Amino acid sequence: MTNWAWDEKKNRRSPVVTLVGDKNMSEKVLEVPVLVEIPAIVTPADIKKVMRRRLIHAFLLVALSGVYLSGIFYLYHKQSIVLRLLDPVIEKIAERAAG
């Protein structure tokens, strides 16, 4: 599409060519702002990438939740062992708080 604009150097009107992909072309022609954008094209490779990412996230969520719950279960059933290990630390914290 060709528009005409005043060229100061040549002191005459000169053609100004705008490419079809120019964002402002439709705004210039219609003299109104364009409020929509062209949607992205989704390819099968993009869908595979998204599905792979979702599966990886789901697997990590299940795996890390299992580790967390296993740790809580261990602490619940082995309270005496954990308390013996943490007793010196708890006493130091209590002594600092008391005095």
7-61 residue pLDDT tens: 666 666 666 555 455 556 656 666 766 666 677 788 889 999 999 999 999 999 9
pLDDT score at 79: 82
64 vs 22, 23, 26, 54, 68, CA distance in Å? 48, 46, 51, 15, 6
State whether residue 5 is helix, strand or coil: strand
pTM: 0.46
Q: Note the pLDDT of residue 1.
A: 47
d(CA 81, CA 75): 9
Residue 84 or residue 8, greater confidence:
84
